[in-house]
Chain A
């Protein structure tokens, strides 16, 4: 018997926002019938705000509860806020899930991510800033990608193969990919170690130089591809003041570009406390 929280039980007994939105602005899917759980989420988005959300889930109690609470969490929120939701937030809102059931919260996160990707031709900024660009399948039994495993490790601080299996199902069937999962864990923590070292050793002047270099070599070229550009205006401690130019200025997604791409790139490469602020 699972030790489900009261909240989980309430949500699978009385799921909220069940169904389909016929003219949805975004639809996201995760999982499959063959794998034993799948989820479809439908969003209605107006002026950057999620005005309605519905779901259909094939899965166990915690899968239904994760889907149900996710719709409650996103209705009324802005797309940018919604984009920040992680599987951990879903599990926390439910008052926790048994370790073996964490993959249900990850499925909610996956479906939401899928929906947002499909929304309004939004550029997939995540892929731009990630080095791991290809959707490499690690676990062929459950079709789990390297990206998903990476995100799960990052969002939940996973340390062992068993934890990764609990959160993503990867490695839960034939187990052949367990070595690969261990490699991903090792790579993740090696990278994290390196970035920590970098942070500690940077002097203020080095930091300014590094930010400038990243903007010139990594961020600017990507924006130029879409007909935009960026200029560094000033650096004040961890505040990085920038100006968006070309197609970026006045683009309705510019705020997203700034936060989801520019800021996260700088946070990942230079300092995790960096705030990027747009100046006119």
Chain B
């Protein structure tokens, strides 16, 4: 049985070139990059070069603005805590209802610590309510924190526009962007977009798990989350994870080279999958608008059936996807993102996220389109809502 991996928003496979770039630093070049002797030079250069690559990847002004971290969560925690610690007199934060849990849970913790947090909503297409955002910014707002694109729906938020709104309302307010779901999928330009801080995670674009980066522009001051040595200009202590940093840089280089492919070919396959499903399966619905999404993601709800069961049947055929259903995660409530979008409860529990990568083959999409209708039929036959399903079929069939 061949593996068909359509869960690339969860994690991606490590590109072979990335692994090759990492191996020397596990083997012969194991030196600590801070050491003084000649032997440490290669490790030291690897980190330096990687910083340059990530600078270009994000179009930062200077290498000094790049901090290597262990993951997207660390990048976000460093950015958010760091900004708040440097602006102790401001107690207000604005974020969205659809942020990744790694950020949302931090804001809930900060609320307990006395911060006031406003959560901006989205419409049925998953688009952010910019008027609500504009209204929420005040003199006390230390930070606005918005994800670049949503991990479950792929919907891209208008980062440049948001930055303009923020700066027009309060010049001191800092802007943090969680870009974990866009790195490698669309171009990022932190200067053009007016971003103060931006976090990425390696394993979402074919680097291994355990490495990430944070961009902090030179006008933004933060305190470190991890205190210790002088590494990363005192903003993140801990001996540099040289092999992983080298891997992250290689993955970024490959991502830059394949951006065009992502935005044309990966998008074409995603669209083929999406329209194929919507056309052939009567109780399916697209949970977002069609425009303004990262090219690899689609989120489709199957009405009156439950997502985990769909995933289990797909898994029996080697197909990997993920679900916003409660049952899948072990939490009892369905996806907070789909709830914020008011996806009808007939479809929310049966919502499946499909996320492709540049390694996805057309034959794999064809195979999914071939086997999925039968799986959905089989599960639909179990449903207690046969009358409702018959109605739906009449309406859409």
Query: Which residues A9-40 have CB closer than 8 A to chain B?
Result: 12-13, 15, 18, 20, 29, 33-34, 36-40
Distance between Cα atoms of A90 and B334 in the complex (Å): 25
Q: How far is the CB of B371 from chain A (nearest CB, A)?
A: 14
Pick from B316, B327, B331, B386: contact of A59, CB under 8 Å: B327
Listed residue (A40, A56, A60, A169) with the most chain B CB atoms within 10 angstroms of its CB = A60
**Is the pair A18, B381 in contact by a Cβ cutoff of 8 Å?**
yes
A142 within 8 A of B: yes
Least CB separation from B388: chain A residue: A33
Our pick among A15, A36, A100, A142 for the contact of B382 (Cβ within 8 Å) is: A15
Q: Is the CB of B345 within 8 A of A37?
A: no
Enumerate chain B residues within 8 angstroms of A15, measured Cβ to Cβ: 382
A60–B381 CA distance with the chains assembled, in angstroms: 14
A42 to chain B, nearest CB (A): 10
CA distance A150 to B332 in the complex (A): 20
The reply to whether A13 and B316 contact each other, CB–CB distance below 8 Å, is yes
Q: Of the candidates A20, A29, A36, A172, which one forms a contact with B306 in the assembled complex, judged by CB atoms under 8 Å apart? A: A36
Contact B382 A33 (CB under 8 A): no
Given contacts A12-B312, A60-B325, contact A34 B304 (CB under 8 A): no
Q: Contacts A34-B345, A36-B326, A40-B384; is A58 near B304 (CB within 8 Å)?
A: yes
Contacting residues, chain B, for A33 (C-beta < 8 A): 304, 345-346, 349, 385
Known A-B contacts A12-B312, A100-B330; the reply to A56 vs B306 at CB < 8 A is no
A-contact bits for B304-317, CB 8 A (1 contact / 0 none): 11111100110010
With a cutoff of 8 Å between Cβ atoms, the chain B residues found around residue A40 in the complex are 384
Contact with B along A42-65 (1 / 0, CB 8 A): 000000000000001111110110
Which residues from chain B contact A37 at a C-beta distance below 8 Å?
Answer: 306, 327, 349
Most buried by B among A36, A100, A141: A36
Interface residues of A in 149-181 (CB under 8 A from B): 165, 169, 172-173
B383 lies within 8 A of chain A by Cβ: yes
Query: Would you give the shortest CB distance from A162 to chain B, in whole angstroms?
Result: 12
Task: Collect the chain B residues with CB atoms within 8 Å of residue A165's CB.
Answer: 332
Report, as a range, how many residues of chain B touch the other chain.
20 to 34
Nearest neighbor of A172 in chain B, beta-carbon distance: B332
Q: Nearest Cβ distance between residue A101 and chain B, in whole angstroms?
A: 8
- Are B306 and A173 in touch, CB under 8 angstroms? no
Chain A proximity of B343: nearest CB distance (Å): 12
Q: What are the residues of chain B within 8 A of A63 when measuring CB–CB? A: 306, 327
Query: Quick one: given A18-B382, A58-B305, A58-B384, are A36 and B312 in contact (CB under 8 Å)?
Result: no
Contact of A38 among B312, B330, B384 (CB under 8 A): B384
Q: How far is the CA of A169 from the CA of B334 in the complex (A)?
A: 13
Q: Point out the residue from B327, B332, B346, B386 that lies within 8 Å of A173, measured CB to CB.
A: B332
CB nearest neighbor in B for A98? B330
B366 within 8 A of A: no
Distance, CA A193 to CA B159, complexed state (A): 61
Q: Is the CB of B382 within 8 A of A57?
A: yes
A186 to chain B, nearest CB (A): 23
Expressed in whole angstroms, the Cα–Cα distance for A56 and B380 within the complex equals: 10
Contact, CB under 8 Å: A60 / B306: yes
Is there a chain A Cβ closer than 8 Å to B61's Cβ? no
B384 near A39 with CB under 8 A, answer yes
Do A57 and B384 have beta carbons less than 8 Å apart? yes
Say whether B333 faces chain A, with CB atoms less than 8 Å apart. yes
Q: Which of chain B's residues have a CB closer than 8 A to the CB of A141?
A: 333
Distance in Å: Cβ of A194 to nearest Cβ of chain B: 33
With contact pairs A33-B345, A59-B309, A61-B309 given, residues A172 and B384 touching in the complex (Cβ less than 8 Å): no
B327 touches A58 (CB 8 A): no
Q: Which residue of B lies closest to A15 (CB)?
A: B382
Q: Are A36 and B384 interface neighbours, CB within 8 A?
A: no
B316 and chain A: residue at smallest CB distance: A13
Q: Which residue of B lies closest to A99 (CB)?
A: B330
A275 to B140, CA, bound (A): 72
Chain B residues 368 to 387 lying within 8 A of chain A, measured CB to CB, are 381-386
Query: Which residues on the A side are within 8 Å of B305 (C-beta)?
Result: 58
Docked-complex contact B349 and A36, CB < 8 angstroms: yes
List residues of chain A with CB within 8 A of the CB of B385. Answer: 33, 58
Interface residues of A (CB under 8 A from B): 12-13, 15, 18, 20, 29, 33-34, 36-40, 56-61, 63-64, 98, 100-101, 141-142, 165, 169, 172-173
Pick the 9 closest A-B CB pairs, nearest first: A172-B332, A60-B327, A60-B308, A56-B384, A40-B384, A100-B330, A36-B349, A34-B345, A61-B312
